[in-house]
Structure 1
Amino acid sequence: MTAVVNLDVPGPTISRHLYGHFAEHLGRCIYDGFYVGEDSALSNIGGIRTDLVQALRALDIPNLRWPGGCFADEYHWRDGIGPKESRPSMVNTHWGNVVENNHFGTHEFMQLCEMLGAEPYISGNVGSGTVQEMSEWVEYLTRSGDSPMSRLRKENGREQPWKVKFWGIGNETWGCGGNMRAEYFADLARQYATYCKNHDDNVLYRVASGARDDDYSWTETLMKSIGSLGGSPGPRDLYQATSFHYYTSAPTWENKGRATSFTDEEYDLTMAKAWRIDEIITGHSRVMDCYDPQARIGLVCDEWGTWWKAEKNTNPRFLFQQNTLRDALVASLHFDIFHRHARRLTMANIAQTVNVLQAMILTEGDRFLLTPTYHVFEMNKGHQDATLLPLHVIQDSARREADGLEFDAVSASASVKDGRVLVSATNLDLHDDARLRLDLRGGPWTLGEARILTAPAVRSHNTFDDPSAVSPQKFDGADRDGDALVVDVPAHSFVTVQLGLQP
């Protein structure tokens, strides 16, 4: 790939919230993941496992979505406050029909966010809840002074309110969140948004439950509900974003493959399907542009990632899967795509943080490991709140084909922040190395540190016995050719290069 980058012509800001995370009451994500209980022999604060928090803080996690997912629409927040011994149990009907004791609730989640240094993103119950229930949850968390919910919060040990900006109005309301029609939910979204109020100086960012994959009609229905064609006089200030979900799976959604035992053909098909998120974001953005040309309403991808069959000898409804170099390359590709859509895309949340789907961390008793996907987040964290430097492609990379779908073998993106440029490049090709040449114009620059994430095979993964099999290494394949940065990216690898801008 050959491209021009104008260092002095910046693009939009890449919101740090594109690097968000997701923690659902599903399998071992919360219980036996984040939360081990105060009586655990493992180091914990209030039952929250401290070594996991320390590892995740290194990613500069911007936000954490909770309590679901499908679980959110059967979760009633009042069951998760007050003394733990008095909290009623519940059945998690979506994920294994297990009984939960509600020991991890609102206060524990807020403590987790404070320990992580992350903003909370709460998904409210629209499917089986009420407008009053969600309205009172907002008040409980964010209102000071003397009110029914602030008094209840104080009785439960928290004097001052929290800051909670991000609120999801339902989850997958087209499916597990109520099997609703778009027109019906659009009215509900307006109603719930009206009663989820700004208390004190806490200004809400309400995210209306949006489409699955490429259901652009769902997005259009939501946009029609708050705006008009042409965007005049602008969308009503009811909700501030609409969401969509997209998972990568192969060969098919109905017949998901295994996380570690897959063919070369399945690998290529995975990458072709991962590339589809670019097309999908473009489609939703075009619909939104018709009603909101100024991009006042954000687009949020609050569930994304790979989805494989659960590991053998585990509960299939716990969605525990290993995490290979293939998963890491899906993540690095997604981030390049997210960056390019930074004008409209305001948040993204990988599914999920611990022990579920494309996790950052896997645990086993007192041991835990960092997955290859974790390392992509760490290597890329310099893009958070940086300014996009668009790549003007002169010559595309080689193209590959899988099951009739073509895709580019190389993806890249660049951003600048605090006088430093970060270039990220991914070579998806299984066998052939690739060369990335960026003609950097608009100012002098110096070559800095380069790192690589790769392994002998795309099936390589970290285990509790070999936790560093796939981990970042220093990279010597980046060089300068006049004013151009030249990066020789090995097959199936992810590379980052730092540059310094000279005044």
Structure 2
Amino acid sequence: MLRTLTAVACATLTLSAAIAKPHEATISADLTQTGPQINKDIYGQFAEHLGRGIYEGLWVGKDSDIPNTKGFRNDVISALKDIKVPLVRWPGGCFADEYHWRDGIGAAEERPVKVNTHWGGVEETNAVGTHEFFDLVELLGADAYVNGNLGSGSVREMAEWMEYMTSDKNSTLANERRANGREEPWDIAYFGIGNESWGCGGHMRPQYYVDLYRQYATFMKAPPGKRPKLVGSGGHTEDTEWTDVLSANIDRDMDGISYHFYTLPTSEWSKKGHATDFDNTMWFKTLERTLRIDKYIADNIAVLDENDPDGELGFYVDEWGTWYDAEEGREPGFLYQQNTLRDAVVAAVNFNIFHHYAERVHMTNIAQMVNVLQAMILTDGAEMLKTPTYHVYGMYKVFQDATAIPFTITTSKYSQGNESVPAITASIAKGEDGKLYIALVNLDPAEEATISLDLKGMKVSSLNGQILTADNITDKNTFAKKNVVKPAEFSADADDLTLPAKSIVVAELVK
């Protein structure tokens, strides 16, 4: 079992930041030992009907001058395929609990136009519905995570949607799907019964939600081999009550519990902080905030270990990422934000934490894929760019379905005032290709780090891979300069390994 990065760093700390300039860290591992599989779905994405995420970002329509396939932008699809997107969650988020699936099937010109009351009060044309979503995941080669409407829907509505999507019989619903252009049923990897039921999904108590979940799940029927994993709507931030109540009272038809946590630099929703105009203090606060998820996951898993000792339930962080104040002059409800080197470091730190808890954390979804919050891609008309976060996903794709290797890390602290966090976080795993990979993140924006590798089971001579860093903490990719922050080649001797300030390295361990 891997040991908690933050807890171990504090417990086994041997050097103080005041003494160690540059930082020093020692990573010890027996490379012949193995831990749990790092599920590919940890690298899942989120596409909600929100702002320009789907419309303009992914979907431009079949008649658009922007090159597309089945209405989806070729440039965006190609870029997402390059980072091996394994899973897409749709249609929300808060939008899911106001979404009625029948609005999104049939002839596009006959679909009702609704109002997206959660995100900007804009018109929702329903141009992208069930068939279009499955076109998207098939174009990406990804799996589907569909979120059902518990908040304003009905048991019948949800059950009929499942039949429409998965039935291979000669039923009226299956034949309606066929008439709408899809002969074979679709595969669904996960199906969420509600979203944020403690908030926008109905402001429920977990005890009330449990009864609704048991009722709805009873009627979520699919043919053999077509049943998705069913996901209960769980808690957020430091809360463990939802995990406790759900895992203690739902004893069937639930495969995992969702969890949400957002990185706000200030930890205040009323004034979260600016996406691109920040200093070293806000850099530190952002990383300190994002590292809290380590304890929050550990606390929830402790509850699961008590209520579900056989480990049957997964813990799904199906919304996470940075969230800043809306940019001036933009619709606040569209949640568009730029993406800097800081966001890349946040992503890598979270991946290392998710890997550590891979025995329970089988799936996560960053919020969100295109043009919303911590996006992979930003678009402007026919133009698109890849964000620093996109590049981290590309570097870390070698960890999809890899086997974690247990390790310990002793690291100096990155401090500010009376607060401190580990200067270095890491992951080690054996990839599906049989190669050994290490990921290293230096959180300090000013100081480099000397890394000592104490590795048994294989004589490692060098590291070869990629590094992501930039001259400034606020550096970003823009439509005028798209490649300011991008990976570069990285190589180092195993016994002479230095990690530059504010950098991310993913490399193969070479004999």
Scaled by the length of structure 2, what TM-score is found? Answer: 0.93
Q: Report which stretch shifted further, 79-88 or 412-421.
A: 412-421
**1:275 equivalent in alignment to 2:285:** no
- What's the CA shift for 1:445? 4.3
Give the equivalent residue in structure 1 for 2:482.
467
Secondary structure class of the residue paired with 1:250: coil
Give the equivalent residue in structure 2 for 1:167.
191
Match of 2:421 among 407, 422, 435: 407
C-alpha separation between the residues in 2 aligned to 1:437 and 1:10?
21
Give the equivalent residue in structure 2 for 1:296.
312
C-alpha separation between the residues in 1 aligned to 2:364 and 2:122?
29
**1:310 equivalent in alignment to 2:326:** yes
Match of 1:218 among 242, 261, 272: 242
Deviations 1:235-278 (A, max 9, x none): x3311000110000121222111100012111100000010010
C-alpha separation between the residues in 2 aligned to 1:281 and 1:479?
35
- What's the CA shift for 1:95? 0.2
Give the equivalent residue in structure 1 for 2:471.
456
- What's the CA shift for 1:448? 4.8
- What's the CA shift for 1:449? 2.1
- What's the CA shift for 1:294? 2.1
- What's the CA shift for 1:446? 5.3
Deviations 1:214-240 (A, max 9, x none): 1111110101112xxxxxxxxx33110
- What's the CA shift for 1:405? 4.2
C-alpha separation between the residues in 2 aligned to 1:173 and 1:56?
30
C-alpha separation between the residues in 2 aligned to 1:423 and 1:201?
36
C-alpha separation between the residues in 1 aligned to 2:497 and 2:291?
22
**1:479 equivalent in alignment to 2:503:** no
Give the equivalent residue in structure 2 for 1:255.
271
C-alpha separation between the residues in 2 aligned to 1:397 and 1:5?
18
**1:246 equivalent in alignment to 2:261:** yes
Higher relative contact order (CA 8 A, sep 6+): 2
Amino acid at match of 2:424: V
C-alpha separation between the residues in 2 aligned to 1:54 and 1:464?
18
Give the equivalent residue in structure 2 for 1:232.
none
C-alpha separation between the residues in 2 aligned to 1:267 and 1:444?
37
**1:123 equivalent in alignment to 2:170:** no
Give the equivalent residue in structure 2 for 1:64.
88
Secondary structure class of the residue paired with 1:127: coil
Tell me: CA distance 1:324–1:490, structure 2 relative to 1, closer, same or farther (3 Å). same
Give the equivalent residue in structure 1 for 2:17.
none
Give the equivalent residue in structure 1 for 2:135.
111
Q: Report which stretch shifted further, 305-314 or 110-119.
A: 305-314
Secondary structure class of the residue paired with 1:111: helix
Give identity over the alignment, percent. Answer: 47
C-alpha separation between the residues in 2 aligned to 1:397 and 1:155?
63
- What's the CA shift for 1:149? 1.5
- What's the CA shift for 1:419? 2.1
C-alpha separation between the residues in 2 aligned to 1:384 and 1:48?
25
C-alpha separation between the residues in 2 aligned to 1:351 and 1:436?
32
Secondary structure class of the residue paired with 1:211: coil
Amino acid at match of 1:52: V
Q: CA RMSD in A?
A: 1.2
Match of 1:265 among 268, 281, 303: 281
Alignment length, in residue pairs? 485
C-alpha contact (below 8 Å) 1:323/1:358 kept by paired residues: yes
C-alpha separation between the residues in 1 aligned to 2:126 and 2:136?
15
Amino acid at match of 2:83: L
C-alpha separation between the residues in 2 aligned to 1:497 and 1:122?
34
Amino acid at match of 2:273: G
- What's the CA shift for 1:67? 0.2
C-alpha contact (below 8 Å) 2:464/2:510 kept by paired residues: no
* Structure 2 residues without counterparts, runs of 5 or longer: 1-24
* Structure 1 residues without counterparts, runs of 5 or longer: 227-235
- What's the CA shift for 1:190? 1.3
Secondary structure class of the residue paired with 1:149: helix
Give the equivalent residue in structure 2 for 1:229.
none
Match of 1:51 among 64, 75, 93: 75
Match of 1:203 among 216, 219, 227: 227
C-alpha contact (below 8 Å) 1:197/1:204 kept by paired residues: no
